[in-house]
Amino acid sequence: MAMLFEVEYPGGERAIATGYAGSTLIVQIVPRGPEAALDDALEVDFGRDPPRVLRVLGGPRRPTLHVRLAGASAAEREAWMDARDAEGWLTREDDGDPTRILVVAGHDGMDPTALARAGGALEPREP
């Protein structure tokens, strides 16, 4: 069974990746971004703690979008996330800010303005 690793990108961003020590790891939990991207295939230096990303070997490199729902309760945020998941988006609450929802397109061609039409406020992308 594959293991979970918290890895650190060169800029300091951390993400959760799966795989085996000494092999290519894959980011499979929606990251905060902007450095990490869902489905990144990573070459990692396992001699560091946490393991350090040496380079991104591949992946679709779809950006993580940060969305807020003004005045929404936890139940309303959960319902919004469930509806977006049903549309093909991948979502999770931000660990550092439960009022922020992290969203990644599940496939090419998805329009981020659909998130705003569904009531979400897109935050500006971090540099």
In this prediction the pTM is 0.81
* 4 phi and psi angles, rounded to 5 deg: -95, 135
Question: What is the per-residue pLDDT across 35-81, written as a single tens digit (0 to 9) for each?
Answer: 999 999 999 999 999 999 999 999 998 889 999 988 889 999 999 99
State the alpha helices, DSSP H only, in 26-123: 74-87, 113-117
Q: What angle do CA 15, 63, 112 make, to 5 degrees?
A: 135
- Count of beta carbons in the 10 Å neighbourhood of residue 100: 17
pLDDT (0 to 100) of residue 98:
81
| Torsions phi, psi for 74 (to 5 deg) | -60, -40
d(CA 101, CA 109): 20
- What element of type H or E holds 14? strand 14-19
- Domain range annotation of the chain: 3-58, 65-122
Q: Give residue-wise pLDDT tens across range 69-109.
A: 888 899 999 999 999 999 999 999 988 888 899 999 999 89
CATH entry 2.60.40 includes domain 65-122: no
pLDDT at 13: 94
Decide if 115 contacts 66 (C-beta within 8 A). Answer: no
